[in-house]
Amino acid sequence: YDLRLMVDFPSGSAILIPSAYLRHSDTFINKTKTHYSFTQYMTTGLFDCIDDDHRVR
């Protein structure tokens, strides 16, 4: 949406998209094909810990 791009990734790819920065979605596929996806959530506190040499503040 924001970038006005459609990107076709190879099968088995792992893609990291920071949802806070841009909107995204999956595309419709043919009914004869199978598509699997999952979403994970990570709090910013974990990124802060990693940026601070893995020390908890």
Residue 54 binned pLDDT confidence (cut-offs 50, 70, 90): low
Average pLDDT, the chain: 74
Res 56 pLDDT > 80: no
Classified as helix, coil or strand, 48 is helix
Q: How far apart are CA 2 and CA 51, in angstroms?
A: 28
User: Between residues 46 and 12, which one has the greater pLDDT?
Assistant: 12
Res 53 pLDDT > 70: yes
- Mention every residue, 6+ apart, whose C-beta is less than 8 A from residue 15: 9
